Amino acid sequence: MTMTDVDSTFRALADPTRRRIIQLVASRSLSAGEIASHFRATRPAISQHLGVLRSAGLLSEQRKGARRLYRAEPKALAAAIEHLQSFWPGRLEALKIEAERRERQRRDQRSR
């Protein structure tokens, strides 16, 4: 069975630890050790997660001396999002907009 990009992406996103890793390095790049320090799991375990995320294109790696800095790659995630949105052409957009409207409404009501 072949292994498409979409497939590896969704498989990578299936693990909660990996999703948290993406969040960690979304706005700033961190070294493997710094990332690992945020979790209970051992460092090798995190290193394997980093490998999965990287080969799925969700993380970019930049070597800086002895360490490797990881940073999230938004394009891969955007691709996954678009893939999900393509399931219902148009309808999901509408749902999201409505949800935002409700959110705004609730917020306004609270701050009144």
Interatomic CA distance for residues 92 and 112, integer angstroms? 30
Closer to DNA by CB, 31 or 85: give it.
31
Contact partner at residue 26 from DNA, a copy of itself, none, CB < 5 to 8 Å by partner kind? a copy of itself
Residue 108 binds a copy of itself (CB under 8 A):
no
Q: Which tokens hold the place of 45?
A: 């375990």
Closer to DNA by CB, 14 or 82: give it.
14
C-beta of 51: minimal distance to DNA in Å? 5
Closer to DNA by CB, 54 or 79: give it.
54
How many angstroms separate the Cα of 2 from the Cα of each of 20, 59, 70?
Answer: 28, 22, 27
Classified as helix, coil or strand, 72 is strand
